[in-house]
Amino acid sequence: MSRILITSGPTREYLDPVRYLSNASSGRMGRAMAAAAMAAGHSVVIVSGPVEVDYAAGAEVIPVVTTQEMLDECLKVFPQCDGAIGVAAPCDYRPASVAPQKLSKTGRSTRLELVQTPDILATLAAGKTSQWIVAFALETEDGRSRALKKLYEKHCDLIVLNGPAAIHSRETAVEVLDPDGRVVASLSGAKDQVAREVFRIIQERLIHRQRATDD
């Protein structure tokens, strides 16, 4: 049995107590990946941004709001995990400052200063020992090349590429790419079913090999 960290859902970066930046992400694919890992006999810890979905009973869930909070919680639990699956869609920019009170309308156009947030999987990868890391990438153009760039930058073992049609949908279509740039699998259908297939690939290519190395 492996212990697997799964990030899920969006993060939010607040401008003031009410307004925020976020990404379209329901948490459904994160929930489906967690369920697939648990069905295969593993334990999961889900670090999740604000979502309305209910994760499977038996999953440990750590709720967070911002990308920095998601990173902080992941850094705490990752050393006790055998691998991580980054399904979350964390905000990669946050407002340079957060107003303590709700901003009033000015009647004019305005500018929002944004600064980049830390990259969660790249940070985990930088401190990893024997763990494997699988990323998800949502791209709207140049999908394969952008996904592979992310795979290298984040030092991942596999990357799952999906398109915007997956957002807030029960269905998805993905390609699983390996560090050699090969398309390991092209999968489509209900997220639960696609998640089981993706997890089967993780099991075969990463968990079994890790076991073989451990033995």
Residues with catalytic function = 23
- The answer to whether 139 touches 159, Cβ cutoff 8 Å, is no
| AA letter at 158 | L
Q: Which stretch binds a copy of itself (CB under 8 A): 35-43, 93-101, 170-178, 197-205?
A: 93-101
Q: How would you class 168 by CB atoms within 10 Å of its CB: exposed for 0-12, middle for 13-18, buried for 19 or more?
A: exposed
Q: Which stretch binds a copy of itself (CB under 8 A): 29-37, 41-49, 103-111, 182-190?
A: 103-111
Per-residue string for binding with a copy of itself, 15-54, x by CB under 8 A? -xxxxxxxxx-------------------------x-x--
126 binds a copy of itself (CB under 8 A): no
69 binds a copy of itself (CB under 8 A): no
Among 79, 118, 127, 164, binds a copy of itself (CB under 8 A): 164
89 binds a copy of itself (CB under 8 A): yes
Measuring CA to CA, how many Å separate 122 from each of 24, 62, 131, 151, 154?
22, 20, 13, 9, 4
- The answer to whether 199 touches 6, Cβ cutoff 8 Å, is no
Q: Phi/psi of residue 66, each to 5°?
A: -95, 165
> Binding residues for a copy of itself, per CB under 8 A?
16-24, 50, 52, 89, 91-93, 96, 101-102, 104-116, 138-141, 146, 164, 167-168
